[in-house]
Structure 1
């Protein structure tokens, strides 16, 4: 009887497994596309960014514009809005996914459009989207950022006109000031009124477009060199930890 070499059997087995894996991946991709199509048909007003199978059998993760994550079945007959929790790991998979989707490529930030505050050696870096009329932004300036050292803070003027109608005017005045950093500090830390014409060329429109692209809907919003995007006036100790994170 003709004997089949073991090496041939091993190679054949690997090829069979690879083909099976590729077929499963292709099937999963097809199912995700079907769910995406059905979801878009039922919710035409919502932009579907991505669909993929969740860790729960028969449930799909749907990423909508604005980094909103929801879940649905294969027929899009039912939708789950909330957090998907890994009970054994005791972590929110939804929160982790949103954090992943929120990551920013630091190298793409137009730092020339920001007010630069270099302290000490300035090696650590953080970008802040801030509104001159935002009380939480002032809290961040006075408490979270005040005592940081060996850091460069890049402040992007991001007035939210729907909340603070006068913030755009103030932002323009700050940017057009002879000393932008001093004008910003006086406004945010010393509560001094802005002054000046504010009629110079500003990057405010570009920053508005950037913030919308990044999904920043409120201020303050902090971006660390690691790419992590964090919302809110977080405490100084949390900022220190994030500044020292590489990933």
Structure 2
């Protein structure tokens, strides 16, 4: 079931560009998802990628608390990344979490029920533990935005 990449709320994701950023994908992930944490380590080894990470706290109430902590931190990307590496910081800040709500609604809209769920620029969805070789093949095939496409 494809997901139009341009219909993702990319402004609510943390964005990371490595190398020329030519291969583009989004990932919906939960800090309490062991497969997500393994996938994060794998993604850290990739070059020439633009990664949009969506905080998708669906596994447990603890996941929701962690996502709120990261969302309300001064450096969302760094705090989320540390959580995906296993850190459990204690942050007391609170803020407007409507962006997290928008991410969760997007998940409902596109029937994203598992983490990690990857959406390639082509719209192809990869769910769960995709073997690294297969992921790289899919990324090379479907990870480029069409000419004139924008990744905001």
**TM-score band w.r.t. shorter chain:** 0.7 to 0.9
Structure 1 ranges of 4+ moved more than 3 A: none
- What is the TM-score with the length of structure 2 in the denominator? 0.86
Which residue of the partner structure matches residue 193 of structure 1? 88
3-state SS of the aligned residue for 1:117? strand
- What is the TM-score with the length of structure 1 in the denominator? 0.54
How far apart, in 2, do the equivalents of 1:139 and 1:242 lie?
A: 18
How many Å apart are 1:195 and its aligned residue? Answer: 2.7
* Number of aligned residues: 142
Q: 1:139-218 residue pairs with structure 2 within 5 A?
A: 139-142=38-41, 144-160=42-58, 163-189=59-85, 191-202=86-97, 203-218=99-114
Q: 1:1-247 residue pairs with structure 2 within 5 A?
A: 102-142=1-41, 144-160=42-58, 163-189=59-85, 191-202=86-97, 203-246=99-142
Structure 2 spans left out of the alignment, 5+ residues: 144-152
How many Å apart are 1:236 and its aligned residue? Answer: 2.7
3-state SS of the aligned residue for 1:166? helix
Tell me if the contact between 2:3 and 2:119 (Cα under 8 Å) persists in the aligned partners. Answer: yes
**Residues 164 and 151 (structure 1), Cα distance of their counterparts in 2 relative to 1, 3 Å cut:** same
CA-based RMSD: 1.5
Tell me if the contact between 1:176 and 1:200 (Cα under 8 Å) persists in the aligned partners. Answer: yes
How far apart, in 2, do the equivalents of 1:231 and 1:137 lie?
A: 11
How far apart, in 1, do the equivalents of 2:118 and 2:44 lie?
A: 15
Bigger RCO of structures 1 and 2 (CA < 8 A, at least 6 apart): 2
How many Å apart are 1:158 and its aligned residue? Answer: 0.8
Tell me if the contact between 1:103 and 1:228 (Cα under 8 Å) persists in the aligned partners. Answer: yes
User: Greater CA radius of gyration, 1 or 2?
Assistant: 1
Which residue of the partner structure matches residue 149 of structure 2? none
Deviations 1:139-178 (A, max 9, x none): 1112x31211110110111111xx4121111001112222
Structure 1 spans left out of the alignment, 5+ residues: 1-101
Deviations 1:175-198 (A, max 9, x none): 222222211221112x21123224
How far apart, in 1, do the equivalents of 2:93 and 2:113 lie?
A: 25
How far apart, in 2, do the equivalents of 1:114 and 1:156 lie?
A: 5
